[in-house]
Chains A and B, each alone.
Chain A
Amino acid sequence: MQRQSRDHFDASTIPDDLAPIATVLSKMLPGDWRSQRPVIDRRKCVMCSLCWLYCPVQCVTEKPRWFEFDLAVCKGCGVCAQECPQRAISMVEEAGR
């Protein structure tokens, strides 16, 4: 997960019936309902960043020689595997249902 760049904003001085704003980060994570997950073959990864670019939930993080997936967030859509030009990513079934 990315670190917040500044501290949590205290909105308590703003009336709660004024303007629709949100300052509390939701804990609901898409990883909860995944039925398959991406697995990367690190030898094939060329750091092109396409998986990072396409991921709809922004769960891809950069490592020195490959890209990795935050499985708490990954919802198993398979777009990364579909788009990887090196076919470095495969989708495998999640164990247990």
Chain B
Amino acid sequence: MSATAAATKSNKPAYVVCEGNEAAAIGVGLSRPDVVAVYPITPQSSLVEHLSQMIADGRLRADLMNVEGEHAVLNGLQGVALAGGRTFTATCGPGLAFMFEPYVRTPGLRLPMVASLVTRDLLSPQCVWGGQQDAMVVREAGWIQMYCETVQEILDTTVMAYKIAEHRDVMLPVNVCHDGNYLSFGVTRVELPEQQAVDEFLGPPNINWHIALDPERPMGVDPLTGGAGGPGPRNFVRYRKGQCRGMQNALRVIREVHAAWGERFGRYHAPLVEEYRLDDADYALVTIGSMTGAAKDAVDTARDAGEGVGLIKVKTFRPFPLEAMTAALGKVTRVGVVDRSVSFGWNSGPVYQETLGALYRTGKQISAISFIGGLAGADITAEHFARAIALTREAQFGRAQEPVWLNEND
């Protein structure tokens, strides 16, 4: 769907009815990248198809780089970024796996790239449906990761991602993550920001002032660094500390950019962590991504029945919002963390495993249960959340608890 409702006489903003993948493509178009490189993979394919249609129609003036696979996608875009061009790609699952080498290189080079992850489960077992395993597996690579709850949030966050990535205090690549199928193909109303307002919001691109392939500024890009003798060790530490500082700065910049977006466009999305009915809650669910909608419905239903339950949603997972999570978790005595992926090392979900770190920082005895649901395209419904709420209510501190696999008996 590509039509826009015309502005009415009262100058109401335009909207479109589209799927999440198209919302992402629209966000990309508004951000005016110079080069888009793509390789299709379910459930991302329609995103790159929308982009290529936008370019073919002249609605997006970008070069479309068709390459033989995702490895070439990101290698090519690194060249573009080093030459000062704004870039975009999208991938997921095996496509992300295929671009792993340039993917881990990008944060070390401090390239401000934006890549959508239309998250899906990883094979094996063989599957093509949504999950979050792919994004979670690469969480230590050094990319910023934000997870969208709604289709509108995908468009808004995609634009914001460029402002965050290219901020002088950040200069790090950003993954905008949205759940495969439920968000990628979920169709609903999306408000469209005006191009001029987005241009003003983003300002001029800020891509390669610090590392470049530019004949006017000759420099060696990514020379051999490290080793046991000479200046190697301290050089390497200096770069890694700088990368960590960039990530910590991103916590502040993400908050600032979301606030600026809210002021300019009238839509406020919680930047790091969202607290829902938490202040007077005894216990809470922790959620991430599109599952949050049904979870909020389940929380409301439980509240109507007299339960003191709230919800904490993680939007920014990298950098991990330790302070915000600690503040939220400290308000309750029990949490049920719902993951859409698995941490094999911890026999739990990864958001659960990292929440344990934040729980430690609260200094309080807070019980936690790991729930795992929505793998390989499974649905996490309000009924599943009702079960999670009931089990979380009964959680006891210090009692060993196996993870609860929500779809086990579906």
Residue numbers of A with Cβ under 8 A of B are 20
A20 / chain B contacts, CB cutoff of 8 Å = 124-126
Closest to A20 in B: B125
List, in ascending order, chain A residues with CB within 8 A of B126's CB: 20
Bound CA–CA A20/B127 (angstroms) = 11
Q: Which residues from 337 to 387 on chain B have a C-beta closer than 8 Å to any C-beta of chain A?
A: none
Chain A residue at smallest Cβ distance from B127: A20
State the Cβ distance, A23 to closest chain B Cβ, in Å: 15
Interface residues of B (CB under 8 A from A): 124-126
Distance of B130 from chain A, by nearest CB (Å): 18
Cα–Cα distance between A20 and B376 once the two chains are bound (Å): 14
Query: How many angstroms from the CA of A60 to the CA of B103 in the assembled complex?
Result: 45
Q: In the complex, what distance in Å separates the CA atom of A20 from the CA atom of B126?
A: 8
Closest-CB distance, B371 to chain A (whole angstroms): 19
Residues of A within 8 A of B125 (CB): 20
CA distance A20 to B124 in the complex (A): 8
3 contacts between A and B (CB under 8 A): A20-B124, A20-B125, A20-B126
Give Cα distance in the complex from A20 to B125, angstroms: 6
Docked CA distance A20–B121 (Å): 15
Q: Which residues of A contact B124 (CB under 8 A)?
A: 20
Q: In the complex, what residue of chain A is closest to B126 when comparing beta carbons?
A: A20
Nearest-Cβ distance from residue A82 to partner chain B, whole angstroms: 25
| Separation of A34 and B194 alpha carbons in the complex (Å) | 47
**In whole Å, how far is A22's beta carbon from the nearest beta carbon of chain B?**
10
Q: How far is the CB of B122 from chain A (nearest CB, A)?
A: 13
Q: How far is A80 from B313 in the complex, measured between Cα atoms in Å?
A: 53
Give the residue name and chain of the B residue nearest to A21 (CB): B125
In the bound complex, CA of A62 to CA of B125 (Å)? 36
B409: min CB distance to chain A, Å: 14
Complex Cα gap A86–B126 (Å): 40
**How far apart are the CA atoms of A7 and B247 in the complex, in Å?**
59
A44 to B124, CA, bound (A): 47
In angstroms, Cα B123 to Cα A20, docked, is 11
Q: In chain A, what residue has the closest Cβ to B123?
A: A20
Q: In the complex, how many angstroms separate the beta carbon of A84 from the nearest chain B beta carbon?
A: 31
A12 to B125, CA, bound (A): 19
Q: A21 to nearest B CB, angstroms?
A: 10
- In the assembled complex, the CB of A19 is this many whole angstroms from the nearest CB of chain B, namely 8
CB distance from A16 to the nearest CB of B (A): 12
Q: Closest CB-CB distance, B127 to chain A, in whole Å?
A: 10
Q: 3 tightest A-B contacts by CB?
A: A20-B125, A20-B124, A20-B126
Give A35 Cβ to nearest chain B Cβ, in Å: 26
How far is it, in angstroms, between the C-alpha of A60 and the C-alpha of B385 when the chains are bound? Answer: 49
Cβ distance A13 to chain B, nearest Cβ, rounded Å: 20
Q: Give the Cβ gap from B107 to chain A, nearest Cβ, in Å.
A: 33
